[in-house]
Structure 1
Amino acid sequence: MIERLRQYVPVLDWGRTYTRGAFSNDLIAALIVTIMLIPQSLAYALLAGLPPEAGIYASIVPIVLYSIFGTSRALAVGPVAVVSLLTATAIGQMAEQGSAGYAVAALTLAFLSGGLLVLMGVLRLGFLANFLSHPVIAGFITASGILIATSQVKHILGVSAHGHTLPEMLGSIFQHLPEVNWVTVAIGTLATGFLFWVRKNLRPFLNRLGVPPVLADILTKAGPVAAVVATTVAVWRLDLAAEGVQIVGRVPQSLPPLTLPGFSPDLIRALAIPAILISIIGFVESVSVAQTLAAKKRQRIDPDQELIGLGAANLGAAFTGGYPVTGGFARSVVNFDAGAETPAAGAFTAIGLAIAAVALTPLVFYLPRATLAATIIVAVLSLVDLSILKKTWRYSRADFTAVTATILLTLGLGVEVGVASGVALSVLLHLYKTSRPHVAEVGLVPGTQHFRNILRHDVETVPSLVTLRVDESLCFVNARFLETLIQSRVTEGCTVRNVVLMFSAVNEVDFSALESLEAINHRLIDMGVGLHLSEVKGPVMDRLNRTHFPDKLNGQVFLSQYDAWSSLAQSETSAGGATRLSSVGG
């Protein structure tokens, strides 16, 4: 009972061996991540169309719940750019920003996402994330990064543009260019340039000055805070708000409030699909980061328990004034690099943010929105990876087509269409590849017992014997492909007398594929051609033996391909045939 409880509540496992050294390392990591999260949380809340305090609230209780139920030692949970954009897109058409209905919709979205993730975790459905191909996800995140950065240009310019797609945003920005506030432009441009410089050059600069590495790292991570402080003081001292500079304004000075999501059937129905999409994207992004960081320390995570941890975090956000959250790439890497050893670092981060929510929020009254926009732009542009187009073009045209379509659909039709198309394209790409399995005609490598593709190697072949190596499991998707291939190879008038299917790579034969094998057997019987199998794996043979197929097979089942060759090729040679060397393709 205790062991099963530890499986679902990992804190009971790692908490037993928690040491003073781990406490010290977690505390330092929490300090660095807290400094980074304060401006980031405010910025992402505004990106989601919510009051800035919602970002702080979404970074307190959710982090604590994940530290209890999650399995990653370094994953930092909270608002992220892509999920914030998806949130704004999902509820932006249902309610007006700033209204009570908008806030309730955000809570409901977090509730639905959390409930779905927990349900998937309990049902052990973490494997479903494998159906999303990495190139398609990379394409969606790249397009989302471009959309997010473009959406923040209006704050840099100080204009009131709108739109959910790239053409709409660019058209609206161009339309409002006469309204540009040049003071805001100066603040936004300087903040953006400074943050880019901090990201690329501050640490090397501090290292050259002899600053200790730990302090240099903290100062680098505190770059956004420096930008926030400098621009806030400038707006306050110079009274730039009177010049039209948009500021954050009053932020409630309190801990996260207790809130309730909406349970209206119409609201739930309208948000169901967006909640599914947010859950999928959030889980894939989170588990990818968690697995990468865990591998560096030879640790492991449990994807199914990660679903429960992320689900609990989102449920916590729903009842404490937040909105959907997931594991963030940037803050998780910072947490890892800062030395976090256990999920307790997340709990300490939550304490730091709670202190900030109570004590520091009055200090951001004069914080210009252009600075928060600069923070978002610098953060999300690191997500943009257009090199994925070049890589997939060189490696696989099918993957390139899927990535390109995902990017164009996301930019042209919006993130909801983009993520839905990404999911659909991932599944279709898998089905397309599965429907066309690699089947190679093989021959004997001279002087060995190995068989290789006749199009790639110099091998011995017998005109009357055809051996086809099937390099994938056979199922309803590809069974017909094998039928057609054999039919085209064993044509009327040819000298083929035996066909061997080499099953060394076949892990499963489903019922549809069994029927196809039976159809192939019947056709070859009518043509006077023997059908044989070789190197059939035990579990596959066990299943075939439960049917009448082995009894009706007009050939044999050989233990190895060399046994099949020795038996069938020799019988053909003794009957007057001859072996020949195939050198097609070298």
Structure 2
Amino acid sequence: MRERLSAVLPPMGWLRDYHRTTLVQDLLAACIMTVLVIPQSLAYALLAGLPAQAGLYASLLPVIGYALFASSSALAVGPVALIALMSATTVGDIQAAGLADFATCSLVLALLCGVILFVMGVARLGFMANFISHPVISGFISGSALIIILSQVGTLLGIPTEGSTLPALLRSIGEHVGRFNDPTAILGIGSVLFLLLARRFSQRLFCAIGLPIGVASTLARLAPMLVVIATAAVTAWRHLDTSGVRVIGNLPSGLPGLSLPAINLPLVEALAVPAILISLVIFVESTSIAHRIAARRGERLDANQELMGLGAANLAAAVSGGLAVAGGFSRSVVNIEAGARTQLAGVFSAIGIALVTVFFTDLFHYLPKATLAAIIIVAVTTLVDFRAIADTWRYSRQDGLALLTTLLLTLLAGVIPGILAGVALSLMLYLYRTSRPHVAVVGRIPGTEHFRNQQRYAVETHPLIVILRVDETLYFANARYLDDCVSELVSQRPEATDFVLMCTGINTIDASALETLEAINTRLQSAGIQLHLSEVKGPVMDRLRRTRFLQNLSGEVFLSTFDAWRTLSDRHPLSTHAIDSSGEKANPSGAH
């Protein structure tokens, strides 16, 4: 019973071996994490279009909810830039339709994401994240990062901007850029420069003065808190809020109340599709980070447990006034480098943020919003990966097309249309690739039991035997293509008496493909040609045995292609010829 509970609630397992040394490491990591998380949480709440305190609330209960179910020891969850942008875009469209106010829409969206993720985890549907290919995710993240950067330019300069696409944002920035606020621009641009310089040189500087590389890396990542303290102090000292510098203002002190957001059916219907897409992005983004952590620590990651943990985190965010959350890369890296050993580091960090929320919110009154915009801009610049476009295009034109299409549609049409188009294009490209599988007429490499493509190797062939290798699972989308290939080969080799289908690359055969194989068998038999199978995999053979196909098969099923070659060649003792890669006959060999 305890083992079953530990499988669902991992803390029940690792807490039994929790020691004082681990506690000290987790507490130290929590202190550092608290300092890092606060400015990020405030910034991402504003990016999501919510009051700054929503970011603090999203770093409390969601962390605890995730820790209850997580299989990852150090993934840190909370508000992240990409999900905040998707939330803002989705909620903005829904609010414009008049279905609910902005805050309610955000909470209902987090609630739906929580339900979707948790149910997927319970139903063991972690594999569904594979429907979004890596090129699509790469294009979507790069496009979203560019949108995020442009969306923060207005706040950085103290000018009004609007829009959620590249053309709209550029047009808005161009119309107002000449009326920027001088103090705001100085604080904002100065913060960006400081953060960029700190990212590039601070770790090197700390190492130069003798600090261990782990400590130096952790300290270097605390630059956002330094710029928060400095710009807030300058703003308060010079009363820059009276000169047009927009500040956070009064944040409510105290912990958030717990309540379900107001839900109605039209609102749920409007949010359903975006919630599914955002849930998939949350899962893909979070588990990609968690897998890196697991590989680094030699741990095992359970994708379905991660789904349940992320679902619990978003459910907790929905009932505590937060916003949709996911695993954050920078949070997790700092968490690891600070020495976190378990998810209790995140829980202790949430306690620290709770103390700040109760007692120290007044300290953020003079924090310029331009500073938070600078933190967002610098944080997401690492997400823009133009090199991936060139690398992917060189490797695969189709994947490169998917990446570019997703990137452009994200920039031109918005984040939701971008990811929708990317998913659809991924599936279409998969269907196209598998609908025209690679097939090869193969022959025997002389003196061996190996068979290779006769267009690439000098092989032995037999004029009466055709061996066709299919390098793809057979299903409804490529069944007709296989039929056409067989018909074309038979028309080119009218003297053939035996046709061998080499099944090394066939993992499954669906009902449509089975029907096609039956038709091929009948047609070949009518033409006086026997159809044989070789190297059929066990699961495929198990399913074929439950059908009439094997009973009606005109030829035989051979364990290996070499067995088929030897048996059929003995039946037809003719001379064979080696054929080079150009298709010309060479190196004649003896009869087999």
TM-score interval w.r.t. the shorter chain?
Answer: over 0.9
List per-residue Cα deviations over 1:438-480 (Å, max 9, x = no partner): 2222111111111111122111112221111122221112212
Alignment of 1:426-575 (within 5 A): 426-491=426-491, 494-572=494-572, 574=573
- Length-normalised TM-score, structure 2: 0.96
Q: Shift in Å at residue 585 of structure 1?
A: 5.0
Q: Which residue of 2 aligns with 1:162?
A: 162
List per-residue Cα deviations over 1:280-318 (Å, max 9, x = no partner): 100111111111110111101111111111100001001
Supply the AA of the counterpart residue of 1:406: T
List per-residue Cα deviations over 1:244-279 (Å, max 9, x = no partner): 111111111111222321211111111111111110
Supply the AA of the counterpart residue of 1:263: I
- Length-normalised TM-score, structure 1: 0.97
Q: Which residue of 1 aligns with 2:114?
A: 114
List per-residue Cα deviations over 1:16-47 (Å, max 9, x = no partner): 11111211111122122211111000000000
Q: Shift in Å at residue 100 of structure 1?
A: 8.2
Alignment of 1:109-148 (within 5 A): 109-148=109-148
Q: 1:380 aligned to 2:377?
A: no
Q: Which residue of 2 aligns with 1:581?
A: 578
Q: Shift in Å at residue 492 of structure 1?
A: 6.2
Q: 1:400 aligned to 2:400?
A: yes
Q: Helix, strand or coil: the match of 1:152? A: helix
List per-residue Cα deviations over 1:71-103 (Å, max 9, x = no partner): 100100100001000110011123379x98211
Q: Shift in Å at residue 571 of structure 1?
A: 2.7
Hey, what's the Cα distance between the residues in 1 that align with 2:276 and 2:327?
17
Hey, what's the Cα distance between the residues in 2 that align with 1:117 and 1:66?
12
Q: Which residue of 2 aligns with 1:37?
A: 37
Hey, what's the Cα distance between the residues in 2 that align with 1:93 and 1:394?
38
Quick check: 545-554 or 423-432, which moved more?
423-432
Alignment of 1:53-452 (within 5 A): 53-95=53-95, 101-213=101-213, 215-452=215-452
Hey, what's the Cα distance between the residues in 2 that align with 1:486 and 1:246?
72
Segments of structure 2 that go 5 or more residues without pairing to the other structure are 584-592
Q: Residues 192 and 378 of structure 2 are in contact (CA less than 8 Å); yes or no, is this contact kept in structure 1? A: yes
Hey, what's the Cα distance between the residues in 1 that align with 2:117 and 2:493?
60
Q: Helix, strand or coil: the match of 1:282? A: helix
Q: Residues 22 and 341 of structure 2 are in contact (CA less than 8 Å); yes or no, is this contact kept in structure 1? A: yes
Q: Relative to structure 1, is the Cα distance of residues 456 and 363 closer, same or farther in structure 2, using a 3 angstrom cutoff? A: same
Q: Helix, strand or coil: the match of 1:235? A: helix
Segments of structure 1 that go 5 or more residues without pairing to the other structure are none
Hey, what's the Cα distance between the residues in 1 that align with 2:191 and 2:118?
40
Q: Relative to structure 1, is the Cα distance of residues 197 and 307 closer, same or farther in structure 2, using a 3 angstrom cutoff? A: same
Q: Which residue of 1 aligns with 2:586?
A: none
Hey, what's the Cα distance between the residues in 2 that align with 1:493 and 1:512?
27
Q: Identity of aligned pairs, percent?
A: 50
Q: Helix, strand or coil: the match of 2:532? A: strand
Supply the AA of the counterpart residue of 1:228: V
Supply the AA of the counterpart residue of 2:193: G
Q: Shift in Å at residue 178 of structure 1?
A: 2.7
Hey, what's the Cα distance between the residues in 2 that align with 1:32 and 1:559?
62
Supply the AA of the counterpart residue of 1:107: L
Q: Helix, strand or coil: the match of 1:109? A: helix
Q: Shift in Å at residue 243 of structure 1?
A: 1.4
Q: Residues 139 and 406 of structure 2 are in contact (CA less than 8 Å); yes or no, is this contact kept in structure 1? A: yes
Q: Relative to structure 1, is the Cα distance of residues 5 and 366 closer, same or farther in structure 2, using a 3 angstrom cutoff? A: same
List per-residue Cα deviations over 1:108-148 (Å, max 9, x = no partner): 11111101111111111111111211111111111111110
List per-residue Cα deviations over 1:463-512 (Å, max 9, x = no partner): 22111112222111221221111111111673322210011222221111
Q: Helix, strand or coil: the match of 1:288? A: helix
User: How many residues are treated as equivalent by the alignment?
Assistant: 582
Q: Residues 31 and 349 of structure 1 are in contact (CA less than 8 Å); yes or no, is this contact kept in structure 2? A: yes
Hey, what's the Cα distance between the residues in 2 that align with 1:9 and 1:428?
39
Q: Relative to structure 1, is the Cα distance of residues 542 and 212 closer, same or farther in structure 2, using a 3 angstrom cutoff? A: closer
Q: Shift in Å at residue 578 of structure 1?
A: 2.4
Quick check: 29-38 or 164-173, which moved more?
29-38
Q: Relative to structure 1, is the Cα distance of residues 218 and 541 closer, same or farther in structure 2, using a 3 angstrom cutoff? A: closer
Hey, what's the Cα distance between the residues in 2 that align with 1:93 and 1:417?
12
Supply the AA of the counterpart residue of 2:44: Y
Supply the AA of the counterpart residue of 1:11: P
Q: Relative to structure 1, is the Cα distance of residues 100 and 36 closer, same or farther in structure 2, using a 3 angstrom cutoff? A: farther
Q: Relative to structure 1, is the Cα distance of residues 118 and 485 closer, same or farther in structure 2, using a 3 angstrom cutoff? A: same
Hey, what's the Cα distance between the residues in 2 that align with 1:162 and 1:234?
28
Q: Helix, strand or coil: the match of 2:250? A: coil
Supply the AA of the counterpart residue of 2:553: L
Hey, what's the Cα distance between the residues in 2 that align with 1:131 and 1:441?
32
Q: Helix, strand or coil: the match of 2:101? A: helix
Q: Shift in Å at residue 6 of structure 1?
A: 1.6
Q: Residues 96 and 102 of structure 1 are in contact (CA less than 8 Å); yes or no, is this contact kept in structure 2? A: no
Aligned-residue CA RMSD in angstroms?
A: 1.7
Q: Residues 533 and 558 of structure 1 are in contact (CA less than 8 Å); yes or no, is this contact kept in structure 2? A: yes
Hey, what's the Cα distance between the residues in 2 that align with 1:234 and 1:51?
23
Hey, what's the Cα distance between the residues in 2 that align with 1:80 and 1:417?
20
Q: Shift in Å at residue 342 of structure 1?
A: 0.9
Hey, what's the Cα distance between the residues in 1 that align with 2:488 and 2:334?
58
Q: Residues 184 and 370 of structure 2 are in contact (CA less than 8 Å); yes or no, is this contact kept in structure 1? A: yes
Hey, what's the Cα distance between the residues in 2 that align with 1:29 and 1:453?
57
List per-residue Cα deviations over 1:378-410 (Å, max 9, x = no partner): 101111111111111111111011101000000
Supply the AA of the counterpart residue of 2:529: V
Hey, what's the Cα distance between the residues in 1 that align with 2:378 and 2:336?
20
Q: Helix, strand or coil: the match of 1:532? A: strand
Q: Shift in Å at residue 5 of structure 1?
A: 1.7
Supply the AA of the counterpart residue of 2:144: S
Q: Helix, strand or coil: the match of 1:366? A: coil
Supply the AA of the counterpart residue of 1:371: T
Q: Relative to structure 1, is the Cα distance of residues 254 and 585 closer, same or farther in structure 2, using a 3 angstrom cutoff? A: farther
Q: Relative to structure 1, is the Cα distance of residues 493 and 57 closer, same or farther in structure 2, using a 3 angstrom cutoff? A: closer
Hey, what's the Cα distance between the residues in 2 that align with 1:281 and 1:402?
17
Q: Which residue of 2 aligns with 1:6?
A: 6
Q: Residues 35 and 221 of structure 1 are in contact (CA less than 8 Å); yes or no, is this contact kept in structure 2? A: no
Hey, what's the Cα distance between the residues in 1 that align with 2:230 and 2:311?
38
Instruction: Return structure 1 stretches of 4+ with deviation > 6 angstroms.
Output: none
Quick check: 249-258 or 106-115, which moved more?
249-258
Q: Residues 442 and 454 of structure 1 are in contact (CA less than 8 Å); yes or no, is this contact kept in structure 2? A: yes
Q: Relative to structure 1, is the Cα distance of residues 297 and 478 closer, same or farther in structure 2, using a 3 angstrom cutoff? A: same
